[in-house]
Amino acid sequence: MADNFYIALLHYPVYNKHGEVVTTAVTNMDVHDIARAALTYGVKRFYIVTPILVQRQLVAKIMQHWQQGYGSIYNPARREALQIADIKGSLDEVLDDVAGNEGKKPWLVATGANLAGKLITFRALRVRLREESDAHLLLFGTGWGMAQQVLERADFFLESIRGVMSYNHLSVRSAVSIALDRLWGEGTDGDVH
Amino acid sequence: MADNFYIALLHYPVYNKHGEVVTTAVTNMDVHDIARAALTYGVKRFYIVTPILVQRQLVAKIMQHWQQGYGSIYNPARREALQIADIKGSLDEVLDDVAGNEGKKPWLVATGANLAGKLITFRALRVRLREESDAHLLLFGTGWGMAQQVLERADFFLESIRGVMSYNHLSVRSAVSIALDRLWGEGTDGDVH
């Protein structure tokens, strides 16, 4: 169903709290939580993107532990989830990888708390993903959000997640989970979205 | 809107992977992520429940750091979110606290991946929360799920979250976020649920 739907978690280029472009550190919990949510919702591949080699090596080591080491026996659910995770050095490497699978580059959909212009609603994207045969890549930023140079490349900005309150500081783990549920979730009394 | 809606994260009594009733450790990331999601969706209070005194002291210390210490200046969004968090020693203490606020005990709604009987769908609960003036408490378990002794006290079991795949191992952080969004989330093109 979501067989040509991809997500990526960018650690560069993103803003820090002062609006400077930085590289954030990869968080162990992000890798596990997002891999589990991604597998639940049928995401084809979850890319963790960082230009820092030692960070890529760290993620590779975590993945190896849970996929082949003691962790694979202790917690098979983690092993299974990490099978759809992959590590890349840049967004361009991700786009090339998707193009290698799909024959062409995916549509780029950026997410964030305060994006304007190029907006697509959750409902419109949910319909589009079912009607379009092209692949789509949903981008999530870390830190204080994705830098302008990435946003400029996006075909669409996904509407921000709104709750009830004006407070809007979900963790990236929560934001990915909610976005995947809004795009792909189902309920026992039919389509929940 | 959700002004009499409460959630609790239980660390006892829950099962471990062998089906034994245990107390799980409180996780720093759970406290932050769930508090942020709870505030976003207008939850009145988020209870962290553990019978272990040193764990309650640890959570109190984390909360104090972010509410009054250096953390409150470094990251005001965390401070704000933690204002709705509270620590209790047992489910009964939580029920008493809600009863103290609301004049009577709340309806108990349990969540889990494989519950049967007493089921309520997300859509039905979403409607119920808007039509009933009574308070509701949504319970989330840690470890391998809430023990039978808690499930027996629940008035309802909330349908499990389904994605696209048979894989069903969301983190509790993801599960809380998705459940709150299904019950209280809104979209720019109207009700997303």
Is residue A97 very low, low, confident or very high in pLDDT (cuts 50, 70, 90)?
very high
* Mutation choice for B interface testing from A16, A171, A180 by most B CBs within 10 A: A171
Taking residue B91's Cβ as centre, other Cβ atoms within 10 Å add up to 21
Q: Which CATH number fits domain A5-163+175-183: 3.40.50.2300, 3.40.30.10, 3.40.1280.10, 3.40.50.1110?
A: 3.40.1280.10
CB B188 to CB A161 under 8 A?
Answer: no
The pLDDT tens digits for A154-174 are 999 999 998 887 787 899 999
Q: What is the pLDDT of residue A56?
A: 95
Q: Could you tell me the two tokens for B84? A: 């709705």
Chain A nearest-CA residue for B185: A163
CB A161 to CB B37 under 8 A?
Answer: no
Domain borders along chain A are 5-163+175-183
Q: What is the pLDDT of residue B12?
A: 97
Q: Where are the alpha helices (DSSP H) in chain A?
A: 28-40, 53-67, 70-74, 76-82, 91-102, 122-131, 148-151, 172-184
Return per-residue pLDDT of chain B as tens, 193 residues: 568 999 999 999 999 999 999 999 999 889 999 999 999 999 999 999 999 999 999 999 988 888 887 777 777 888 888 889 999 999 999 999 999 999 999 999 999 988 889 999 999 999 999 999 999 999 999 999 999 999 999 999 999 998 887 787 899 999 999 999 999 998 765 555 5
Contact status of A93 with chain B (Cβ, < 8 Å): no
Lowest mean pLDDT among A37-46, A61-70, B54-63, B154-163: A61-70
Helix axes B28-40, B172-184, angle to 10 degrees: 10
- Picking from B71, B78, B88, the residue whose alpha carbon sits closest to that of residue B34 is B78
pLDDT above 70 covers what percent of chain A?
A: 96
Q: What is the pLDDT of residue A189?
A: 58
CB B188 to CB A32 under 8 A?
Answer: no
- Minimal C-alpha gap between A146 and chain B (Å): 19
Q: What is the pLDDT of residue A66?
A: 83
Q: What is the pLDDT of residue B126?
A: 95
Report chain A residues whose CB lies below 8 A from the CB of B186.
Answer: 162-164
Contact status of B41 with chain A (Cβ, < 8 Å): yes
- Minimal C-alpha gap between B91 and chain A (Å): 25
Architecture of domain B5-184: 3-Layer(aba) Sandwich (3.40)
ipTM above 0.90, yes or no: yes
Q: What is the pLDDT of residue A192?
A: 57
Chain B nearest-CA residue for A28: B29
Maximum C-alpha span of chain A:
48
How is A27-58 classified by DSSP, letter by letter? -HHHHHHHHHHHHHTT-SEEEEE-S-HHHHHH
Q: Alpha-carbon torsion B181, A59, A16, B75, what sign? A: positive
Cα gap A143→A13, rounded to integer Å: 10
Q: What is the pLDDT of residue A128?
A: 96
Q: Alpha-carbon torsion A189, B1, B2, B4, what sign? A: negative
CB B184 to CB A163 under 8 A?
Answer: yes
pLDDT of residue A188 exceeding 80:
no
Report chain A residues whose CB lies below 8 A from the CB of B127.
Answer: none
Q: What is the pLDDT of residue A75?
A: 78
pLDDT of residue A70 exceeding 90:
no
Q: Mean pLDDT for chain A?
A: 91
Cα gap A14→A28, rounded to integer Å: 18
pLDDT of residue A193 exceeding 70:
no
CB A168 to CB B121 under 8 A?
Answer: no
Q: Which long-range contacts (CB under 8 A, 24 or more apart) does B19-27 make?
A: B19/B144, B21/B147, B21/B149, B22/B143, B23/B50, B23/B51, B23/B52, B24/B142, B24/B143, B25/B55, B26/B50, B26/B55, B26/B58, B26/B59
Contact status of B7 with chain A (Cβ, < 8 Å): no
pLDDT above 90 covers what percent of chain A?
A: 74
Q: What is the pLDDT of residue B41?
A: 94
CB B123 to CB A81 under 8 A?
Answer: no
Q: What is the pLDDT of residue B127?
A: 95
The predicted model gives A36-43 an average pLDDT of 94
Report chain A residues whose CB lies below 8 A from the CB of B3.
Answer: none
Report chain B residues whose CB lies below 8 A from the CB of A181.
Answer: 161, 163, 178, 181-182
- Picking from B16, B20, B78, B85, the residue whose alpha carbon sits closest to that of residue B56 is B85
3-state secondary structure of B177: helix
Q: What is the pLDDT of residue A64?
A: 87
Report chain B residues whose CB lies below 8 A from the CB of A124.
Answer: 189
* pTM exceeds 0.90 for this model: yes
pLDDT of residue A93 exceeding 80:
yes
- Between B40, B123, B163, which is nearest A163 by CB? B40
Contact status of B163 with chain A (Cβ, < 8 Å): yes
Q: What is the pLDDT of residue A68?
A: 82
Q: What is the pLDDT of residue B99?
A: 97
